Amino acid sequence: MSSENSQAQLELRHITKQYPGVLANDDISLKVEAGGVHALLGENGAGKSTLVKIIYGVVKPDTGEILWDGKPVQILNPSHARRLGIGMVFQHFNLFDTLTIAENISLGMDNPGDLKTLATRVTEVSEHYGLPIDPRRHVHALSVGERQRVEIVRCLLQDPKLLIMDEPTSVLTPQEVDKLFETLRRLGEEGVSILYISHKLEEIRALCDDATVLRGGKVVATCDPREETSKSLAEMMIGSEIPVMQREASGDLGPPVLEVKGLSVKSDDPFGTSLKDIDLTVRGGEIIGIAGVGGNGQKELLQAISGETPVRDRAAVSIDGQACGRSGPTARRGLGLAFVPEERLGRGAVPEMTLAENTLLTGYQSGMVSRGLIRFGHKRQRATEIRRDFDVRSAGIDSEARSLSGGNLQKFIVGREMGLSPKLLILAYPTWGVDVGAATAIHQAVMDMSRQGVGIVIVSEDLDELFEICDRMAVIAEGRLSPVRNNGETSVEELGLWMSGEFDDEPSGAGAETSHAH
């Protein structure tokens, strides 16, 4: 831990921020030392996002004081924050697909100068920090890891003294994470302070010098994470012991609930990825994980399975033995499909609608509508049950979806889909941005469903998650699906290599009949 007497780059004193019905930050004080990597930990809804928005000038605190370089300061807006030397890399990228890297970076700078000079600086800075990018490339052609580099380089061009990073590794391969850590350590050596938010506690222990833990908007602990275990850090965040997942051996697998045969789809999105001859069999009672770097065909595969993109060949997709390649989402749900999409707001839930109303979106076929009329009591009861069973933190079932934190909305959507008694459950990034307690609860619910004979497909970039709960795994790269391996017959390194497209084209559904045990 840094000594109490050393000069803090940033100091917060007694910061409080109240929203209607929610005390987001309650008397928070913390220090980030010059050149230090400081972790900000907490469950979803603990107040982390509000706090970093205050530091970056997006939100004004109600009370409290911010000291920058030891002097009191009022940060008026993000432009003011950048002038002071505060840069922020957000969890969700703010990039335009149709523009080049240089054009995107210029839009996020206060004084970008001419594009040619800027492009030269982008090349120099990106290579100096080991994050090489070509400023002439268009963003639509970049992998997610490369887009992350663009956001980081955009910040570094402004010579920040403090870099705020929100979940920076949630979409990176293991190899890209290693590269990012090298860069962050080099920045620390050059005197740049880093405020680092992540739910991946092993990363926190490997990278950070100090940690501040928030719970319910308050600081509940400060520690040196290198002297803690992932378990002890998680327990500080939750305030109790983490529930332990119960993995029991399942019985025999049921018949196939999803069969994908020779699925090829040409993407009509100029920046999309076409699918190439994909085979996959998922049987009742098993969990199959599909790993890969974002932008390699995950979206297109999910749309082809869910029915958002019907395909010409009816037999290319079968659910519960019924060929349904040409059918739309409603017909496929009628066959027993439930689906948690990647985008929570907009596709998983309607932002302006209440939780009770959002329950109706996919539940209207399960007793909430009778003879064309909504059964309001049934709808409200179901929303109440989801909120209770999945510990969704909100003011109530009449809260608008957009008022929930990302993790709480995710829990609600997962609970809503699981409550439909599906035969096949497709989950896209089920715990992205979700805290350790909620992730454990979602994983347990997924495993419980598989033991009830439901076939489950999880698309995720989090390899730890896939190894923890999946029976078999594959990788999607450039629209092709790798061979499917039993969990114990592959490794993080092999999957990381496959993510770059290096695998043989043996049938991707191979191993469908292999042994299986939770």
Q: Are residues 308 and 426 in the same domain?
A: yes
Position 384 in a domain: yes
Position 503 in a domain: yes
The number of residues making up the chain comes to 518
Do β-strands 193-197 and 162-166 pair in parallel, antiparallel, or remain unpaired? Answer: parallel
Position 342 in a domain: no
Give the pair of three-digit tokens for residue 195.
């405020």
Q: Are residues 371 and 251 in the same domain?
A: no
Q: Are residues 74 and 223 in the same domain?
A: yes
Q: Are residues 233 and 267 in the same domain?
A: no
Q: Per the confidence metrics, is the pTM higher than 0.85?
A: no
Residue 214: name the closest of 62, 15, 11, 5 by CA.
15
Terminal C-alpha separation, the chain: 41
Q: Are residues 417 and 432 in the same domain?
A: no
Residue 74: CB atoms within 10 Å: 10
Residue 416: name the closest of 489, 359, 495, 500 by CA.
359
Residue 87: CB atoms within 10 Å: 25
Q: Are residues 174 and 49 in the same domain?
A: yes
Rounded to whole angstroms, how far apart are CA atoms 111 and 90? 21
Q: Are residues 428 and 475 in the same domain?
A: yes
Do 403 and 351 touch, CB atoms closer than 8 A? no
Residues whose CB falls within 8 Å of the CB of residue 486, separated by 6 or more in sequence, listed in order? 471, 472, 511, 514, 515, 516
Position 153 in a domain: yes
Do 129 and 137 touch, CB atoms closer than 8 A? no
Rounded to whole angstroms, how far apart are CA atoms 270 and 471? 35
Boundary residue ending a domain (222, 238, 254): 238
- Residue-by-residue pLDDT tens, the chain, 518 positions: 444 445 789 999 999 999 887 899 999 999 999 999 999 999 877 899 899 999 999 999 999 999 999 999 999 999 999 999 999 988 767 889 899 999 999 997 878 889 999 999 999 999 988 888 899 999 887 777 788 889 889 999 988 999 999 888 776 777 778 888 999 999 999 999 999 998 888 889 999 999 999 998 999 999 999 999 988 998 998 887 766 666 665 568 999 999 999 999 998 877 788 999 999 999 999 999 999 887 789 989 999 999 999 999 999 999 999 999 999 999 999 999 999 998 888 889 999 999 999 999 998 877 888 888 999 999 999 999 999 998 888 889 999 998 887 778 889 999 999 999 999 999 998 987 777 778 888 999 999 999 999 999 999 988 888 998 999 999 999 999 999 999 889 988 888 888 878 887 654 444 433 333 33
Phi then psi dihedrals of residue 434, to 5 deg: -100, 140
Residue labelled with tokens 């114990």: 488
Residue 261: name the closest of 510, 509, 505 by CA.
509
Q: Are residues 146 and 71 in the same domain?
A: yes
Residue 23: CB atoms within 10 Å: 15
Rounded to whole angstroms, how far apart are CA atoms 296 and 430? 18
Position 3 in a domain: no
Give the pair of three-digit tokens for residue 463.
């390899």
Do 455 and 423 touch, CB atoms closer than 8 A? yes
Q: Are residues 129 and 206 in the same domain?
A: yes
Q: Are residues 157 and 188 in the same domain?
A: yes
∠ CA 5-73-52, rounded to 5°:
85
Position 343 in a domain: no
Q: Are residues 224 and 293 in the same domain?
A: no
Boundary residue ending a domain (406, 421, 436): 421
Position 502 in a domain: yes
Boundary residue ending a domain (238, 265, 293): 238
Q: Are residues 84 and 158 in the same domain?
A: yes
Overall domain count for the chain = 3
Position 398 in a domain: yes
Residues whose CB falls within 8 Å of the CB of residue 290, separated by 6 or more in sequence, listed in order? 298, 301, 457, 458, 459, 460, 473, 474, 475, 476, 481
Helix (H, G, I), strand (E, B), or coil: what is residue 318?
A: strand
Domain residues for the domain of 163 are 8-238
CATH of the domain at 511: 3.40.50.300
Secondary structure (DSSP) of 159-217: --SEEEEESTTTT--HHHHHHHHHHHHHHHHTT-EEEEE-S-HHHHHHH-SEEEEEETT
Kindly list the distances between the CA atom of residue 223 and the CA atoms of 235, 260, 433, in Å, as whole numbers in the listed order: 13, 49, 23
Q: What are residue 98's DSSP bridge partners?
A: none
Do β-strands 485-486 and 472-477 pair in parallel, antiparallel, or remain unpaired? Answer: antiparallel
Q: CB burial class (10 A; 0-12, 13-18, 19+) of residue 480?
A: buried
